[in-house]
Amino acid sequence: MAKQSLDTIRVFALGGLGELGKNMYVVETEEEILIIDAGWMFPEDDMLGVDVVIPDISYLVQNKEKVRGIIITHGHEDHIGALAYILRKIHAPVYGTKLTIGLVEDHLKEKGLRKKADLRQIHGESRITVGQFPVHFFRVTHSIPDSVGISIETPQGLIVHTGDFKFDQSPVDGRYTDIDKLTRIGKRGVLCLLSDSTNAEIPGTSPSETTTGSGIAEMFQEAHGRIIVTTFASNVHRIQQVINAAESEQRKIAVVGHSISKVMEISQKLGYLHCPDDIFVDPSEVENMDPERTAVLCTGSQGEPMSALTQMAKGSHHELAVEKGDTVVIAANPKAGNEKSVSRLIDFLYQLGAEVIYGRDNVHASGHGYQEELMLMLNLLRPAHFIPVHGEFRMQQAHGELAEAAGVSPDNTFLLDKGEVVEFTNKKAKRSGKVPSGNVLIDGLGVGDVGNIVLRDRRLLSEDGILVVVVTLNKKSTGIVSGPDIISRGFVYVRESEELMEEANTKVKTTLEKALSENVKEWSTLKSNIRDVLSRFLYEKTKRRPMILPIIMEV
């Protein structure tokens, strides 16, 4: 890639484009790199066995001496989840607001990295310098408190990243998106705007979080029997509304789920969550209490198999179970890709005799602005160039159309993929190649050791199973001492397919004897011959292609 001038600014994303989650954006000069957010996302359906996915940071590692800082816009996992993996390879200060840093601290503590991390607290009025970048912040309303947007002064002009935002006219905590500061930034002139595209396809204005408070209060007033509420663990405002409603109706609350307990503990300690001293009870006490006086607050709004609500519904939770007469409130909408699991969970809850309240505006409000709010942000900042971020491509496309309607030239709107670079020189922008980007898969303690080949094998195993062929050869006489023995897992049930297995056994034996008679002694060749003949035979008989694993031993 051609060497850029000292004043040239490069902007690109290593995650958060063409997907929901894994947010990571980069502003780069010849000498310095500034990173915005470092999130993860949950695996897609075909990523079998994978726990989470983080961005490929190989470009940043190659240029780690240039990295001056990592700024986190808010405390959601899709913005902080990858920090622990990144800080193992890149040593840079991390900037965030009070609650964000509190959540990051806990996240790093679990990974044994807290003592090594340089965490620096900022707020919505902060002005700091990161390397040579003067950075200003502005407050935004989102579904977690203490969210901010960022304005970065560069040699080419202001680059603004909105963070996740909405324009809520009656926010729960009274903290509005800072329109006054946004107006001032717009008057200074914005070279490039990176803006949240999550709800760019939805017309109108998102409902206020306050409406969910009245909706939840109404549910608590009307419900007979026990109430079970599930929401995103990080939605502190929603959790506060549940606590307020329970207090009003004199119900005790049992909190179930590690993640929601952690967020509540941190939020309460930092003053973002206000709870009466005696409102909480241990989950083990709930079964012996009057259902009319109890409520359960738990994880599981996305139908996750190991979440508290799913376990309670299936009777596998060690302390609580969903029972007939319970009212279950799902105070969250399913994220893209989770619709099936949520639908199955709702169906199962109905079968148990519970009343399920879900999919209503009065129990959930999105933390991301709709079209009118995105237009307002564009009109306040009036950017010369625009990069829609944080969304799948169709959302970026819709946001680009909104920008055109707001007066941004289509030639100055860049719908990018991960790794694509926009370069600014003399206040003009152009596409300028790509940097390495993609997915790094986290599976247990393994980081990046699961790749396409491993996933291909897992898919094959999940679809057609495996056959293990074990045979022992005599080293001197090159004859078969024992076997072949064929072991089937996930392919056919052996006791009901004895004829097929005997025929397969004969095919393998014949193939081996022929190869040995021709003085073929290379194990790799013998294994290949076994795989080829067995694969053809089994596909002809069953139209399936199991993984075939030959094991040859010598005595």
pLDDT digits (tens, 9 = 90+) for 430-458: 999 999 988 777 655 555 545 555 556 55
Percent of the chain whose predicted confidence (pLDDT) is above 90: 56
Query: Which residues line the annotated binding site?
Result: 364-368
Contact 230, 298 (CB under 8 A): yes
**Dihedral sign, CA of 529, 532, 536, 539?**
positive
- Which residue, among 368, 328, 329, has the nearest Cα to 207 in the 3D structure? 368
| pLDDT range class, residue 47, cuts 50, 70, 90 | low
pLDDT of 43 strictly over 70 = no
pLDDT of 417 strictly over 50 = yes
Q: How far is residue 269 CA from its own chain's centroid? A: 26
| pLDDT range class, residue 20, cuts 50, 70, 90 | confident
The per-residue pLDDT for 32 is 95
Q: Average pLDDT of 233-261?
A: 92
Q: Average pLDDT of 202-225?
A: 90
pLDDT of 540 strictly over 90 = no
Residue 434 Cα distances to 10, 14, 154, 348, 397, angstroms = 11, 10, 21, 47, 20
Can you list the positions of beta strands (E) in 141-182?
Answer: 147-154, 157-161
As a whole number of angstroms, the distance between CA 540 and CA 459 comes to 21
pTM for the whole structure: 0.82
The per-residue pLDDT for 455 is 55
As a whole number of angstroms, the distance between CA 24 and CA 333 comes to 24
Arithmetic mean of pLDDT over the chain:
87
Residues 6+ apart with CB under 8 A from 272: 99, 145, 146, 173, 236
Q: Which range among 128-132, 430-434, 524-528 shows the weakest confidence by mean pLDDT? A: 524-528
Q: Average pLDDT of 232-254?
A: 93
| pLDDT range class, residue 197, cuts 50, 70, 90 | very high
Q: Average pLDDT of 486-499?
A: 71
Query: Which residues line the annotated binding site for substrate?
Result: 364-368
The per-residue pLDDT for 475 is 65
Phi, psi of 431 (to 5 degrees): -70, 145
